């Protein structure tokens, strides 16, 4: 695994809010069973503890595709803006599994930051991108009600229906 016990002294580990979260982190780091690690990663993503984002970001670099996918889903649930860079890297990685790339799309849409939305618009407009990924991106942009513009730099204006 890419994450080791030395990382436990790192800043993200020290910012964890609860002992339960710390135990989940230790399980992700020490557990050998992929299924158990993925379960702990998913629980971290659902914990609401943004201190866990650092470990989930690290897990996005794991050699095991199930761990990477679980970490991306966890980051989607946490909606941490700190994860945007690693999620963009995953989305751009044409060697990554399509399902994992789609999870990265969903996570970026859930985070909804300007940088995340710009990347989704850019990937959507890229005709060299896999058509299935482009279709999924279009669905996510539509789901979060972001208008897709042919010009990635264009920011659509919205009228307030209450005025």
Predicted TM-score (pTM) of the model is 0.76
The percent of residues in the chain predicted with pLDDT above 70, rounded, is 76
CA distance 93 to 9: 30
pLDDT at residue 13 greater than cutoff 60: no
- List the chain domain ranges: 5-143
- Do residues 76 and 107 touch, judged by C-beta distance below 8 A? yes
Q: Name, of 20-24, 113-117, 143-147, the range with top average pLDDT.
A: 113-117
CA distances from 69 to 8, 91, 126 (A): 22, 12, 24
Closest CA to 12 of 63, 64, 38, 50: 50
CA distance 84 to 68: 15
User: CA nearest 48: which of 29, 27, 74?
Assistant: 74
User: DSSP state, 55?
Assistant: H
Phi, psi of 2 (to 5 degrees): -75, -25
Query: What is the 3-state secondary structure of 2-48?
Result: CCCHHHHHCHHHHCCCCHHHHHHHHHHHHCCCHHHHHHHHHHHHHCC
Could you report the per-residue pLDDT of 43-80, keeping only the tens digit for each?
A: 889 888 888 899 999 999 999 999 999 999 999 999 99
For 38, list phi and psi in degrees, rounded to 5: -60, -40
Map residue 159 onto helix, strand or coil: coil
CATH architecture of the domain with range 5-143? Alpha Horseshoe (1.25)
Give residue 29's pLDDT.
78
Percent of the chain at pLDDT > 90 equals 55
Which of the residue ranges 11-25, 27-41, 87-101 would you say has the lowest mean pLDDT? 11-25
Q: What is the pLDDT of residue 17?
A: 55
């Amino acid at each position: 695994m890419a994450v080791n016990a030395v990382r436990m002294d790192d800043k993200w580990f020290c910012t964890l809010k609860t002992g339960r979260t710390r135990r989940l982190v230790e399980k992700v780091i020490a557990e050998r069973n992929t299924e158990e690690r993925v379960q702990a990663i998913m629980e971290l993503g659902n914990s609401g503890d943004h201190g866990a984002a650092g470990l989930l970001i690290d897990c996005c670099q794991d050699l095991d595709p199930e761990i990477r996918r679980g970490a991306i889903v966890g980051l989607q649930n946490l909606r941490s803006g700190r994860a945007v860079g690693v999620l963009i890297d995953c989305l751009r990685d044409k060697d990554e599994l399509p399902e994992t790339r789609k999870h990265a799309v969903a996570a970026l849409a859930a985070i909804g930051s300007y940088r995340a939305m710009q990347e989704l618009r850019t990937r959507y407009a890229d005709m060299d991108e896999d058509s299935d990924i482009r279709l999924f991106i279009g669905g996510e942009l539509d789901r979060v009600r972001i208008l897709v513009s042919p010009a990635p730099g264009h920011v659509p204006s919205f009228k307030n229906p209450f005025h």
